[in-house]
Structure 1
Amino acid sequence: MKIIIVTLGSVGDIKPFIWMGRVLSKVGQHLVFLTNPYYEKQITTEGFEFHPIGTIDDYYIAITPPVTTGNKFKDKAEGVKAVKRLFNYLYLKPSKDIYDIVTRLKTPDTIILNHFCVYGAKIAAEKLNIKNININLSPYCLRPFKAVDSFSALIENRMVKVIYNFFDNQLIKKTINNIREELGLKPLKKNSAEWMFEGINWYLFPNWLLNFKLSNDLNTNFVGFPESLKGENNLPDNIMDFFKTHEKPILFTPGTAFQDNKNFFSEAVITLEKMSKPGIFLTKFKDALPEKLPENIIHAEYLPLEHLLDKCCAIVHHGGIGTCYEALKAGIPQLICYRIDEQKGNSHAIKALGVSNELTFKRVSSKLLLEGLEIIHNNDVLIKCNEISKKLHVERTEINLLMYFEKVQAI
């Protein structure tokens, strides 16, 4: 059977699909990977057949941060432009190319596994009559499908639909409907979430992470968190040497795709000094760092979190679901400084577990970081962290994935 995996986004949107590819290739499936060429080396190293979607320039344009002017209204407008840029260059622009590639690669037994925002894969599946599985990585995107079991839930449901419809009309539907018309498909009448989530859905997180009930109409298959990509390099010598003299540091990582981190790291330096704690700063954007770091702080462009976090006492991060998972598995408290709505949703879900604090990225200051990091001294939090870590270490995610895959094969 040929499985065409189609995903786009940051590292956190790519790794779960690599994990699925590893699991399915072990049982003899032929894996084909479609993503931005920025990740080509990572994909081909796995031995997967690779086909590029878009260009590396598209990726860098998509992740360009909004311009900061200091004017509240102008900054809001720049933020909207940044969201449009992200969706246009990562998810919308490649849609017709995805359809063309799938058309060329498909076989009678093809199945598509697509990221929940890769609209071109959904169009290809619909037009070419191919089975597709919509892969959802976090609880946030399930908001339109909350069970309406109270008046307040009804109001919230309607508000979410209004927001989605506005977002679609401003950004998505024109491009998608133009492609659909070109291919002889009817224009979308549903909002983009309802369209993408109709049919088979796999959720790469456990059902206990949801802090709300889902509608019975939604197809729900909770696979669980994807396992860490074991086989990545161990920690480098300079980091291991740092641990010898700096016990249990705090890790600060604002996300791989975000560049505007100067305030985040400068306030982190002050915070660590006041706490008399060592720290690790993780970013590939060196110009975001202070000119000179004190001796109790070390910088790295990249470190595998699965090898790092159990040596730390806490993590301060952006709220990406992959980072949330690695921190849960390591059993350490989290301070989540979220930027966008999806990260905010992830943050609320983690906070509801009793293992984190949160604040918006724009409000990051040494004062609020200090307050948020008081969590590392909270005994109840540490006990809860340990309980969840144990639970994740015994979950059988790979078995769940193969079980759901067998069900799809049988359809």
Structure 2
Amino acid sequence: MSEATPHYIVITVGTNGDLHPMMRIAQTLQSLGRQVTFVSHSYYENMVRDAGLAFIGLGTDEEFLRILRNPDIWNPRKGLAALMANYGEGLQQTIASIRSISTTAPKMVIAHPFAVPGAIIARELGLVTSVAAAYLAPSNLRTCHDPLTIGDVSVPRWVPMSWRRALWRLVEKKWVDPVALSHINAVRLPLGLSAVDSFLTHISQTPDLALTLFPSWFAPAMPDWPHPLLEGDFQLFESSKQDGLSPDLSAFLAAGEKPLVFTPGTGNLHAVDFFKHALAAIQSTGRRAIFLTREPAQIPSKLPASVIWLAYVPLKALLPHVAALVHHGGIGTTAEALRAGIPQLVVPFAWDQFDNGARIAAIGVGQVIPAKRLRPRKLAHRLQHLCTSDTVRAQCATVASRFTPAFDAFAFCQEIERQLLAAGHGVRLLNKND
């Protein structure tokens, strides 16, 4: 392999929905002959290494779980502050991880938005040649254009543009910058780097390239999104070790009508009410169901024979066999349900989930009930509609057809490098035959 061949550093933080798309990109780059190092929470080391990727861990398992155990992480107003409690330490660890990679090849970073500040510092220090920011969901990109959803607030279409800009300035001044800038600048200033005065501007304007890891039919590019911008598609990671269904699950699926599936996401440890309301709704309708969560304490103590609990099942294998999916609205789960062609009922808690849910409703393949408004009767009524509507069923099939033919991940990664080359970085083009 030539010394001019770049070494990619893929950096992400968060839960499975944040890791899986980045792992898909990392595996594709590796298949194209590139050296790749994956950087994320140490908690995910086994999963990443099982996928055949070199790994550098950030923090400890206990530090990661401490964040997930904080109920504020799922509060639309308090979540950012809870997530960034130790943000500065994470940035320092990210920089140290990049520094530890010994290679004479040019280093290119593909980073989750929250990892961008650390990657930019590494670029300013000469540790990497270029940085691409990977946006997993549309709401990760700030915009003043419709549809405009900020957290759990949907801004009406009639609101003037000047008001929209003022609203974003208020959000940054009151909620974002106070919890982000002190951490970033505490790392930058001792290194002799200038202070950052806007977190959202910094992560959107400083990378060499922005990538959207969702298709334009789900969210078309907005005029005020960063440039250069490369529009991609859902990056659906598929592990060869998680292809099938267990015999017990297969038997349950075959024993009656298609069940409903309920999941609050892999990182939500505070979904007791979600499952309590789900069970009540199921019992009132007589439907069968599967509850998915790795946290057994969230599950009601007594489940009827028509309901089973499982810690984890790969959604690609499960969803084609179910009637509908009730979930938190994470982008990965949303994409899997779109691919399976099944109705969705999105129950958003925080983060990008409200915007993803609104887009699902706009496409016509599902509905939304915010988590704080979830009640058994409302849930049962909405599910009855989704599972019996010919219009919803037809639209689900139409959307599912957009996944055929499959997205060309190789071409996407080749274009990533072409774009970086066009930005002035002296790295030769990807060649699948290298």
Query: Partner of 2:374 in structure 1?
Result: 364
Map 1:4-403 onto structure 2 (within 5 A).
Answer: 4-66=9-71, 83-89=80-86, 91-105=87-101, 107-118=104-115, 119-128=117-126, 130-144=129-143, 146=145, 152-189=160-197, 191-198=198-205, 199-210=208-219, 213-215=222-224, 218-233=227-242, 234-373=244-383, 374-403=385-414
- Give the direction of change, closer, same or farther, for the CA distance of 1:394–1:16 in structure 2 (3 Å limit): same
Task: Give the ranges of 4+ consecutive aligned residues of structure 1 lying more than 4 Å apart after TM superposition.
Answer: 78-82, 147-151
Q: Which moved more, 1:323-332 or 1:345-354?
A: 345-354
Displacement after TM superposition at 1:81 (Å) = 5.3
- Give the direction of change, closer, same or farther, for the CA distance of 1:101–1:230 in structure 2 (3 Å limit): closer
- Give the direction of change, closer, same or farther, for the CA distance of 1:146–1:131 in structure 2 (3 Å limit): farther
- Give the direction of change, closer, same or farther, for the CA distance of 1:321–1:82 in structure 2 (3 Å limit): closer
- Give the direction of change, closer, same or farther, for the CA distance of 1:300–1:391 in structure 2 (3 Å limit): same
Given that 2:292 and 2:313 are in contact with CA atoms closer than 8 Å, whether structure 1 keeps it comes out as yes
Question: How high is the TM-score relative to the length of structure 1?
Answer: 0.91
More RCO (CA 8 Å, sep 6+):
2
Given that 1:249 and 1:278 are in contact with CA atoms closer than 8 Å, whether structure 2 keeps it comes out as yes
Query: Partner of 1:72 in structure 2?
Result: none
Q: Which runs of 5+ in 2 are unaligned?
A: 1-5, 149-156, 423-434
**SS of corresponding position for 2:211:** strand
Displacement after TM superposition at 1:281 (Å) = 0.1
Aligned letter for 1:193?
L
- Give the direction of change, closer, same or farther, for the CA distance of 1:17–1:211 in structure 2 (3 Å limit): closer
Structure 1, residues 16-46: CA drift from partner, whole Å, max 9, x if none? 1110111111110001111111000011112
CA distance in 2, matches of 1:40, 1:114: 18
CA distance in 1, matches of 2:234, 2:95: 29
Q: Which moved more, 1:58-67 or 1:26-35?
A: 58-67
CA distance in 2, matches of 1:402, 1:59: 30
Displacement after TM superposition at 1:400 (Å) = 4.1
Displacement after TM superposition at 1:399 (Å) = 4.0
Aligned letter for 1:227?
L
- Higher fraction of helix: 1
CA distance in 2, matches of 1:304, 1:134: 27
Given that 2:348 and 2:369 are in contact with CA atoms closer than 8 Å, whether structure 1 keeps it comes out as yes
Given that 1:112 and 1:125 are in contact with CA atoms closer than 8 Å, whether structure 2 keeps it comes out as no
CA distance in 1, matches of 2:213, 2:79: 27
Root-mean-square deviation (Å): 2.3
- Give the direction of change, closer, same or farther, for the CA distance of 1:206–1:40 in structure 2 (3 Å limit): same
Q: Which moved more, 1:284-293 or 1:325-334?
A: 284-293
- Give the direction of change, closer, same or farther, for the CA distance of 1:136–1:291 in structure 2 (3 Å limit): same
- Give the direction of change, closer, same or farther, for the CA distance of 1:229–1:161 in structure 2 (3 Å limit): farther
Q: Which runs of 5+ in 1 are unaligned?
A: 68-74
CA distance in 2, matches of 1:253, 1:212: 30
**SS of corresponding position for 2:56:** strand
Given that 2:261 and 2:292 are in contact with CA atoms closer than 8 Å, whether structure 1 keeps it comes out as yes
CA distance in 1, matches of 2:289, 2:43: 29
CA distance in 1, matches of 2:374, 2:13: 29
Given that 2:79 and 2:350 are in contact with CA atoms closer than 8 Å, whether structure 1 keeps it comes out as no
Displacement after TM superposition at 1:103 (Å) = 2.0
Structure 1, residues 361-388: CA drift from partner, whole Å, max 9, x if none? 1111111111221222111111110001
- Give the direction of change, closer, same or farther, for the CA distance of 1:123–1:396 in structure 2 (3 Å limit): same
Displacement after TM superposition at 1:79 (Å) = 7.2
Given that 1:224 and 1:397 are in contact with CA atoms closer than 8 Å, whether structure 2 keeps it comes out as no
Displacement after TM superposition at 1:316 (Å) = 0.4
* Percent of matched pairs sharing the same residue: 25
Displacement after TM superposition at 1:166 (Å) = 2.5
Aligned letter for 2:251?
D
Q: Which moved more, 1:313-322 or 1:385-394?
A: 385-394
Given that 1:205 and 1:224 are in contact with CA atoms closer than 8 Å, whether structure 2 keeps it comes out as yes
Structure 1, residues 260-293: CA drift from partner, whole Å, max 9, x if none? 2222112111211222211000011111111111
- Give the direction of change, closer, same or farther, for the CA distance of 1:380–1:396 in structure 2 (3 Å limit): same
